[in-house]
Amino acid sequence: IAGITQAPTSQILAAGRRMTLRCTQDMRHNAMYWYRQDLGLGLRLIHYSNTAGTTGKGEVPDGYSVSRANTDDFPLTLASAVPSQTSVYFCASSDSTANPSPLHFGNGTRLTVT
Amino acid sequence: GQNIDQPTEMTATEGAIVQINCTYQTSGFNGLFWYQQHAGEAPTFLSYNVLDGLEEKGRFSSFLSRSKGYSYLLLKELQMKDSASYLCAVMDSNYQLIWGAGTKLIIKP
């Protein structure tokens, strides 16, 4: 089934550790996104990529980095995790050549930083 | 600043109709999206409005008034499976999505 796969599903991480959240899509969408979702807040964009080889900063990029080596993969790295990065992380993609171009979301990674 | 407002929580009865409102103030406007998100799951796309008026899709309809910065999602013939959060998102002039915090809809038998 076509879609977005995120891994891991959940993770408990000690503060100061490095962590990479994986995201892979098989829809050949050119645009990909990383969001965090926290209770009482709207989805907040961390980083995005409009096409392979390019990335951009979203609303809350500090403490996170991304890469887009190819169309399918868009990993998110926390270089040194802090408790405020405890959240649910969603990867999403869209076909920005379409209008409208709704987002397709992965099932999320629930991250707890202790 | 940019802002999306929607009620935090609503309760409705199975079989009834419910209207979830969304008001927005954004830098420009390139369309409004509604998403459904069941607890513990990913958001899924419901509707898109870019012109004023009503868009109907089965039991769900979405309305937009650009002059008022206002949209609503109308759910008819409510079913228990409609219990979910409903997220409103506006695409601004830079084609970035601004998200509301979501409305948790509770359906009672």
A2 and chain B: CB distance < 8 Å anywhere? no
In percent, the amount of chain A with pLDDT more than 90 equals 89
* Chain A nearest CA to B99, separation (Å): 5
Q: A37: Cβ–Cβ under 8 A, 6 or more apart, which residues?
A: A43, A44, A87, A88, A89, A90, A108
DSSP-derived secondary structure letter, B30: S
Q: Under an 8 A CB cutoff, do A90 and B42 touch?
A: yes
pLDDT-flagged residues of chain A (< 70): 1-2, 97-99
Q: At residue B71, does pLDDT exceed 80?
A: yes
In tens, the pLDDT along B44-57 reads: 999 999 999 999 99
In tens, the pLDDT along B3-44 reads: 999 999 999 999 999 999 999 999 999 999 999 999 999 999
Among A18, A80, A99, which residue's Cα sits nearest to residue B95?
A: A99
In tens, the pLDDT along B96-107 reads: 899 999 999 999
Q: What number of C-beta contacts closer than 8 Å exist between A and B?
A: 42
Nearest Cβ partner for B48 among A45, A100, A107: A100
Predicted local confidence at residue A72, as pLDDT: 97
Query: Which stretches does DSSP call E strand in B15-94?
Result: 18-25, 32-37, 44-49, 53-57, 60-65, 70-75, 84-91
Predicted local confidence at residue B94, as pLDDT: 85
Nearest Cβ partner for B48 among A40, A43, A102: A102
Q: Taking all residues of chain A, what is their mean pLDDT, rounded to a whole number? A: 95
Distance CA A23, CA A8 (A): 9
Find the chain B residues whose C-beta atoms sit closer than 8 A to any C-beta of A: 4, 8, 31, 33, 35, 41-45, 48, 50, 87, 89, 96-102
In tens, the pLDDT along A94-108 reads: 997 666 789 999 999
